[in-house]
Amino acid sequence: MLLVHPESQARVANFHQWKPNVLTDHHEMGTQSTFFFQPGVPSRTNPLTPKENQVLTEKIGNFHASALDSIGSLYYSKESFDDFYYGKGSTYPDIHGAVGILFEQASSRGHLQESVNGLLSFPFTIRNQVVTSLSTHRACVALKNELLAFKQKFYAERIKEINKEAVQGYLFFDNDLSKSAEFIKNLNAHKIDVYQLQADYKHNSLCIPLKKVLWCPASKPRADW
């Protein structure tokens, strides 16, 4: 979210360039687990994420379950991890009309390791990730119309909701113009518009020169919406 690392900067830039309908985020977890795919714990979903997002996530999950069953791999869903923090690779898409999916594979921590589920090898952990990558492709093809309709509906409804909000934007300023410049750079990277005021800002006894005050609107739709 803060785009400190070059990898994060590249990921976000490519995300907004492609505007994907589905994005997968492949990770590893402790050796004594099996394989996890979202949805996560239902009560730990961000309230700004539409319910349809979680419905689609579960429908896609059925394809993962079928694929993992076919190779005899153990797995689980909805029992851990969350869909709350939008700064994660698997959750960032959820606030942009896409479906983000987290995969967590029990790590072999090397070539081969003993676990409560038996010997866990590096090739086995790779296989599970590849299999669920392919099952994601199958799900996207099968659910194409639903995914396209969801994204279209997402943006249409978000614009309506925003226009009903009492807060229609945010003013911000700082005497340190370089700090403001970095903040604006970050907002723009996330496709959040920022404008400079056309006159000095005055409120009670406060008067701030227009060059220091910036306006971040909540209601103005972007051209690429």
Portion of the chain with pLDDT greater than 70, in percent: 95
Predicted local distance difference test score (pLDDT) of residue 170: 85
Portion of the chain with pLDDT greater than 90, in percent: 72
Which residue did the predictor score with more confidence, 17 or 199?
Answer: 17
DSSP the chain: ----SHHHHHHHHHHHHH--SEEEEEEEE-TT--EEES---GGGB-TTS-HHHHHHHHHHHHHHHHHHHHHT---B-SSS--B--TTSTTTGGGGTTSEEEEEEEEP-SSSEEEETTEEEEHHHHHHHHHHHHHHHHHHHHHTHHHHHHHHHHHHHHHHHHHHH-S--EEEEE-S-HHHHHHHHHHHHHTT---EE-SS-EEETTEEE-GGGEEEEESSPPPTT-
Please tell me the CATH superfamily of domain 6-160, with its number: Zn peptidases (3.40.630.10)
| 164-194 pLDDT per residue, tens | 888 888 888 888 888 888 999 999 999 998 8
Q: Kindly give, in sequence order, each residue whose CB lies less than 8 Å from that of residue 10, ignoring residues fewer than 6 positions away.
A: none
Predicted local distance difference test score (pLDDT) of residue 210: 63
Predicted local distance difference test score (pLDDT) of residue 202: 80
> Is 105's pLDDT higher than 70?
yes
Q: Give me the residue spans of the domains in the chain.
A: 6-160, 167-217
| 122-144 pLDDT per residue, tens | 999 999 999 999 999 999 999 99
Predicted local distance difference test score (pLDDT) of residue 211: 63
Let me know: does 34 contact 117? Beta carbons within 8 Å: yes
Q: Which tokens hold the place of 179? A: 């700090």
Segment among 45-59, 142-156, 159-173 with least mean pLDDT: 159-173
> Is 212's pLDDT higher than 70?
no
Q: Supply the mean pLDDT for the chain.
A: 90
Predicted local distance difference test score (pLDDT) of residue 221: 46
Q: Which residues pair with 29 in a beta bridge?
A: 106
> Is 224's pLDDT higher than 60?
no
> Is 223's pLDDT higher than 70?
no
Question: CA angle at residue 84 from 82 to 86, to 5 degrees?
Answer: 120
Q: Which tokens hold the place of 137? A: 């492709």
The average pLDDT across 97-126 equals 94
The average pLDDT across 87-96 equals 94
Predicted local distance difference test score (pLDDT) of residue 213: 65
Whether a cis peptide bond, with omega within 30° of 0, leads into 39 is yes
Nearest to 90 by CA among 30, 6, 15: 15
The average pLDDT across 39-47 equals 94
Distance between alpha carbon 106 and the CA centroid of its chain, in Å?
A: 22
Burial-class residue 35 by CB neighbours within 10 Å (0-12, 13-18, 19+).
buried
